[in-house]
Amino acid sequence: MMPTPSRVLYRNPSFTSIWIGEAASSLGGSFGTVANSWLLFQITGTGLEAALGSMWLIYMLPSLLVQLVIGPYLDRWNKQRVMLFSQIARALLFCFPLLMSLNGHLQPWHIFVVSLGNGLIQPLYVPSSMALLPSLLDEKQLPQANAVIDGTSRLMMFLGPPAGGLLVALIGAPFTLTGIILLYLASGALLLRCRPIHQQQEQKRETWAAQLIAGFRYFFAHKQLVWLSVFLAFVQFAVGVTMVLYLPFVVQTLGGSSFTYGLFIAMFPLGYFLGSLLVPRFSSGSSRHSGSVLRTDSGQYPNLSLRADPRLRLIPRLRLHFRRWLGQGLPLRIVMLGSILLGGSTFFALSLVHHIWIALLIELFAGITSPFFQVHSTTLYQCTVPADMRGRVFSVRLLIIRSVMPLGTLFGSVCAPIWGIRPIFAFIGGVICLAAFVGVVVPWFRFLDGGNLGETSVDKKSSA
C-alpha cells in the first residue's frame, strides 16, 4: 500500500524539525507577548495605552527599516543559518529582562529593549522561514505543509497566552522569561536537522541596489502579488490597532483579569488552527496553487451534470448546486476575500459586546475565517516566485503589509482616549469589510480567480 501524502510529509525529518521548531518559536513568542504586556501594565499602571503603543512602535518602526534593505542579502545568505542566528539572538534578548527582574530593578525601558531587538530580528526570520520551506519539500506538498505549520503555530499561540498569564501570576516573571529563552533555543536546535532537497542557486554578481530594484520590479510587475498584499494590509492595520486596545478592552471595558485577557487573545489562534483544518476541504479537486481556481469543470462528481443528469427531476436545483459547491470548492477570490469580509465583521460584533464570554466566541470565529486567506496567499507566493528571488519578494510583501501596522498602532493610541474603544472597533471593521466587498463584487478583481500568478502581460506575449 502506498503511503498517503500526509504520512509522506510527516515522515520527512526536515519537515518535522521545522514544524516542531516553528511551534516552539510561536509558543515562546506568545509567552513573550503576554509577559511583556502584563509586566508593562504592572509597572506603568495608568497611561497603559501610551505605554503599549510605545512598545509596539519601538518594535515595528526599526523592523520596517530592516525589511526595506535586507531582501537582497537574504537571497545571498544561507536561510537556515539566518533562522538559527535569529532564534539564538531572541533567547539572548530575553536574558536582559530576566536579569533585571531577578535583581528587582525591572523598568519599562528594559521591555522596550526586547521589543527593539525583536523588531530587528523579525525581518530576518520570517522571510527566511517562508523561503526555506520550498527547498525542503516538493511543490505539491507545500499547501498541506503551510496549513500544518501555520495551524500548529496558531495552536501554540492559543496555548501560550493563557499559560503565560497563569505563569506570570503563579510563579512570577523570572520563571516565565526562563521558559521563553529555552523555547527559542530548542527551536534553533531543531533547525540543525533540516536538509534541503533543492539547493540554493548561485546568485549573479550584482550590487545590493540592483538586486533590491529587481525585487521591487518583479513584485510590482505581477498585479496578483500586489493586490494580495494590499488586501492583507487592511487587516494588518486592524492588527496594529488591536495591539494597543485589546488589553484595555478586556481588562477595563469588560472587567476581565490577566487570565481572561490571555484567554481572549488565545481565541483567535485557536480558531485559526481549527480553520486551517478546513482549508484543504475548499481545495479539493483543483490545482491548489498554480491555477488560482479552486474548482474544475467536471470536478469530483462528473455524473451530477446540470443538463444530462435525470436525477434533476428528483433533486432540487439549489440543492444540487450546494452539493457541487461542497465537492468542488469556490473560486479562490471568493474564498480568500470572503474570509477577510467575515473577519472584518467580527470587529463590528466586538464593538457591541458587553460580556467577556461572548467576546471570546467572536474572536474564535475571527480566527476560523483567517487561514482561508493566509494559507492560500502564502502558497501562491511560494509557488510563483523564483527561488533566487524569494527573499527579496517576501521582504517587499512584508514591508507593505507591515508598514501599515504602526499606523494602526498610532491610530489606536491617539484616538482611543478621544473616541473610545468601541467606535474604533466599528470603524476598522467597516474599513476591512468595504475593501473585501469591493474585491468580491468588482469584476476587475477576477484575475485572482484564474491564470498563473507568475504570468504577466510580458510573459503572455513571449509564450504566444
Q: Is residue 148 assigned to a domain?
A: yes
Q: Are residues 363 and 238 in contact, defined by beta-carbon separation less than 8 angstroms? A: no
345-357 residue pLDDT tens: 999 899 898 888 8
User: Which position has the higher pLDDT, 45 or 215?
Assistant: 215
| pLDDT reported for residue 297 | 35
Q: Roughly how many angstroms between the first and final C-alpha of the chain, as a whole number?
A: 43
Q: Is the pLDDT of residue 319 over 90?
A: no
Q: How far is CA 94 from CA 60, 176, 339, 341, in A?
A: 18, 10, 36, 37
Q: Is the pLDDT of residue 313 over 50?
A: no
Distance between CA atoms of residues 158 and 238, nearest Å: 19
Q: Are residues 177 and 98 in contact, defined by beta-carbon separation less than 8 angstroms? A: yes
Q: Is residue 25 assigned to a domain?
A: yes
Whole-number mean pLDDT of the chain?
Answer: 75
E strands within 230-324?
A: none
Q: Are residues 285 and 327 in contact, defined by beta-carbon separation less than 8 angstroms? A: yes
Q: Is the pLDDT of residue 88 over 90?
A: yes
For the chain, give the percent of residues with pLDDT over 70.
79
Q: Is residue 419 assigned to a domain?
A: yes
Q: Is residue 257 assigned to a domain?
A: yes
**CA-based nearest residue to 160, from 60, 285, 34:** 34
Q: Is residue 39 assigned to a domain?
A: yes
Q: Is residue 439 assigned to a domain?
A: yes
Domain count, the chain: 1
**Residue 273: domain span:** 11-193+207-294+329-452
Q: Is residue 406 assigned to a domain?
A: yes
**pTM, 2 dp:** 0.62
Q: Is residue 457 assigned to a domain?
A: no
Q: What is the 3-state secondary structure (H, E, C) of 152-184?
A: HHHHHHHHHHHHHHHHHHHCCHHHHHHHHHHHH
Which residues partner with 415 through β-bridges?
Answer: none
C-alpha cell at 10: 510527516
- List the CATH number of the domain containing 442: 1.20.1250.20
116-134 residue pLDDT tens: 888 888 888 887 887 788 8
